[in-house]
Structure 1
Amino acid sequence: MTDNATAPAELVAGDRVAGRLYTDPDIFDQELTRIFERTWVWVAHESELPGPGTFKSTHVGKQPVIVTRDRKGELRTLLNRCRHRGASICEKPSGKANGFTCPYHAWSYGLNGKLRGIPYPDGYEGVVDKAELSLKTLRTESYGGLVFATFNDAAEPLAEFLGDARAWIDLFMKQGGGYPIKVLGKHRFKFRGNWKIQLENTTDGYHFPIVHRSWMASVDAETADMMSFMTDPAAITHDLGNGHSVMQMVPEHSDLDADDGTEPLQGRFDDLVQELSKTLDPAQVRKLVRAMHGTGFNLNLFPNVSMSSAFFRVLRPVAVDETWIEHVAIGPDGPPEVEAVNRERLRIHEHFQGPFGFGTPDDAEGWDRVQRGAQGAPEMPIMVNRGLGRETTSPEGWPTAHVTDETGMRAAYGKWKEMMGDD
């Protein structure tokens, strides 16, 4: 339990955080209300909601929601809770509907959340005004195809919250090779650890060659060389403000449009190049194939989503020691011939992600071990001080250090401290 004499925000210093941040259920409960119910939380990609009536079930913190497009095509996020007796009104992960009907007493709602009908209404005459019993609606805004929602009507506009991260979102979306991005598939798993352990991971270049040496040994020499960034002085991490950060592992691939044509395409994609060349011009083929591994950076958006090279990673806190992770594979949304690219991108995704990949099991084992170890000597701090002495300020005004430094973690915990101290 939290020591009532110590406010949670006081448990975060510039170079360390209290171990209790991983293990204290009181702190976890406060995080849900002070962070996940106050700020913008990622809920969907627009490609998952291609037209009116399409929907996706997900969560904001621990609260179940439905993200949908109403009849006018406007994005909506609705609390997945009937206004009558509290039953969930949608259990499907995704689909298309004209509205939502509670299976318990058949109260029905429109795509905009308005209460449309009550069976046997005679018992409610003079008791119920349907206009007052719409589904609870969350503020919903999108940027670059990313859909966010918040319970906080007073939250700043999404664009303001994303701030300087918007430019990196724009760069990330270029991996469509000239086409928009769409979701190709996803898989979910949970680890027995606190959500902040995973939040730290996306801009933690320090662990990569240690935890992922089996993956490095499994790929071709060109890919392994591309990801050998540990001693590259150009590989850096920026604190972008508002808890967001970006880790540039392969700086020359940060902007996929910046291509002088001299970098050879990897030989492993020769067959794909031949297939694409039957219908696409050489410039299109080069653009698509050069982006096969995604961008050269990981972008962490506080508090629940990261854009990791070539996929989205979404976290959902369940308990102080339990977190769901969803890995979302993405690719170009183009003509039929581009599906050959998406087929190959899925194979690359599966090679690292998922239960049979070389990356996800190793990451999850590390996260589990942090949680188990944090049970010991809870008064001992978690250190996030690597690179603090060599951190500089970029021309944009961003705190910046090497890709192996913990600048991104300090960014996230700075925002955590701000929100947990705001009463």
Structure 2
Amino acid sequence: MKLDDIPVRLATAPDPLDSFRWPNADYTRTPYRVFTDEAIHEREMARIFRGPTWNYLALEAEIPEPGCFKTVQVGNVPVVVSRTPQGEVAAFVNRCAHRGATVVREEFGRADNHPCIYHQWNYDSAGSLCGVPYRRGLNGSGGYPADFKPAEHGLQRLRVALYKGLIFGSFSEDAPDLIEYLGPNIVMHLDRIFVKPVKVLGYHRQRISANWKLYFENIKDPYHAGLLHTFMATFGVYRSTQRGNTLLSPGGGHAVVYSVTQTDDAAGVREAYKGTTNKYQADFELAHPQLLEWTPDFHDGIGNLIISVFPNLVVHQILNTLATRQVRPLGTGGLELYWTYFGFEDDAAERTEARLRQLNLVGPAGYISMEDGEAIRLVQQSIAGERDASSFIEMGGRGPIVDADHVVTEVCTRGLWQQYARTMGFEPEVAR
């Protein structure tokens, strides 16, 4: 027998992460390792962002007509969202099927097709390959093999699903129907916000030196807002003393937290904030009180509402400010937060002006949001290299991860980690 005839069997090394388990079954502990470990980050990109999940891509209002497109990011994969000549929405990987170059280099635009600058492979608005230079060669030389089929070399397509003007994409055929994935609590509150056609007012892009999951933890934690954000507590935009609710999706990964304004009183607020350091300043006044003038879009008294959809979407209503936030991972120690502000198509000019004025509350330098970025940066800074310690998540109690009729709780954070662990294969042994 010749050496070449002997079959070769390559041993596959076991993945060390297969033995990694969550420390407890009710997710009141989170290993700091998940924020810093490169191998965990790579598994997240594969199992979460390219796995059986629905990722938020854009608003339909951003690509209103055939040929309109927007470039986005799903995990670490560049993606184009586009409107086809037939009016349908398509999404495809922004990486040439020939040699891997970025095809669409503009953030927004309108084009019937997209040529790659490197070798001029040309793609239509659905990502199909529609033109190849020198396919038959040049002057009788070169060219592609006779069996070359352009239809087999289009850009990788994502599944696309739409809801209330929001565009979602998935790399996986195993992702459930979008409505099932979202669950009734998310659907109910998306219905509340996206009650009529929207128009885009503007954008912010913010880079934060922290792991993407720290941001998702932050927005799922309602009670921190009345402690971290002096502005919110002092001027009543949000306080934990207000009436509110904390609602979860069936798997725990998505959440709705909201508060109802003017449902507390001065005496109760002063009592609640005893012992905190400068978080409620009863004698502060605004030089320009019109900043917080609020003409409700909805008639339920909710002044502060955060919807979060695992793994990358936040929708907020803060007084008259409406926005989506797309979370884009940048390695283990960084993220980009992409804010899209919107109003309604039928808004009068003064309502649009009020929305734009209140943008000062949020965004990279907002009176509220800038503190979130710094808080999670401090966490990332202090846990660098930590392999064994875990966070402590017991506000609101231990045990079942269920809805709460208040906002003094971390139950949504525990729900996030439950969904995360299941998706990553990190469930504690008792859960398995």
The question of a shared fold, defined as TM-score above 0.5 by the shorter chain, is answered with: yes
Decide whether the 8 Å contact of 1:215 with 1:352 is kept in 2: no
CA-based RMSD of the aligned residues comes to: 2.9
Q: How far 1:313 moved relative to its partner? A: 1.7
CA distance in 1, matches of 2:159, 2:32: 34
Matches within 5 A, 1:359-370: 359-370=368-379
Decide whether the 8 Å contact of 1:16 with 1:383 is kept in 2: yes
The alpha-carbon distance between structure 1 residues 48 and 314, as it changes in their structure 2 partners (threshold 3 A), is same
Q: Which amino acid aligns with 2:209?
A: R
Q: How far 1:350 moved relative to its partner? A: 2.3
Q: How far 1:383 moved relative to its partner? A: 1.6
Q: Pick one of 314, 334, 347 that aligns with 2:357.
A: 347
Alignment-derived partner of residue 173 in structure 2? 153
Matched, 1:246 2:232: no
CA distance in 2, matches of 1:35, 1:72: 31
Decide whether the 8 Å contact of 1:12 with 1:413 is kept in 2: no
Alignment-derived partner of residue 396 in structure 2? 387
Decide whether the 8 Å contact of 2:232 with 2:238 is kept in 1: no
Secondary structure of 2:326's aligned partner:
strand
More helix, by proportion: 1
Q: How far 1:127 moved relative to its partner? A: 4.3
Alignment-derived partner of residue 219 in structure 2? 202
Matched, 1:35 2:48: yes
Matched, 1:167 2:175: no
Q: Pick one of 201, 221, 226 that aligns with 1:184.
A: 201
Alignment-derived partner of residue 116 in structure 1? 130
Decide whether the 8 Å contact of 1:239 with 1:411 is kept in 2: yes
Q: How far 1:205 moved relative to its partner? A: 1.9
Q: How many residues align?
A: 376
Q: What whole-Å deviation, never above 9, does each CA across 1:216-236 have from its counterpart, x for those lacking one?
A: 55xxxxxx23523x123x322
Q: TM-score, normalised by structure 2?
A: 0.80
Alignment-derived partner of residue 213 in structure 1? 230
Alignment-derived partner of residue 332 in structure 1? 344
Decide whether the 8 Å contact of 2:67 with 2:111 is kept in 1: yes
Q: How far 1:345 moved relative to its partner? A: 0.5
Pick the structure with greater CA Rg.
2
CA distance in 2, matches of 1:376, 1:5: 17
Q: TM-score, normalised by structure 1?
A: 0.81
Alignment-derived partner of residue 91 in structure 1? 105
Q: What whole-Å deviation, never above 9, does each CA across 1:243-262 have from its counterpart, x for those lacking one?
A: 11111212799xxxxxxxxx
Alignment-derived partner of residue 315 in structure 2? 307
Decide whether the 8 Å contact of 2:17 with 2:40 is kept in 1: no
Q: Identical aligned pairs, as a percentage?
A: 30
CA distance in 1, matches of 2:160, 2:298: 34
Q: How far 1:346 moved relative to its partner? A: 1.4
Q: What whole-Å deviation, never above 9, does each CA across 1:256-315 have from its counterpart, x for those lacking one?
A: xxxxxxxxxxx9669x99xxxxxxxxxxxx665979x98542111111111122221211
CA distance in 2, matches of 1:95, 1:75: 15
Q: How far 1:25 moved relative to its partner? A: 1.1
The alpha-carbon distance between structure 1 residues 348 and 191, as it changes in their structure 2 partners (threshold 3 A), is same
Decide whether the 8 Å contact of 1:113 with 1:134 is kept in 2: yes
CA distance in 1, matches of 2:356, 2:24: 39
Secondary structure of 2:158's aligned partner:
strand
Structure 2 unaligned residues grouped into runs of 5+: 1-13, 137-142, 264-287, 428-432
Q: How far 1:239 moved relative to its partner? A: 1.7
Matched, 1:4 2:4: no
The alpha-carbon distance between structure 1 residues 69 and 225, as it changes in their structure 2 partners (threshold 3 A), is same
Matched, 1:414 2:414: no
CA distance in 2, matches of 1:303, 1:97: 30
Q: What whole-Å deviation, never above 9, does each CA across 1:164-218 have from its counterpart, x for those lacking one?
A: 11111101224xxxx422221111111111111000111312211222104555x
Structure 1 unaligned residues grouped into runs of 5+: 218-223, 254-266, 274-285
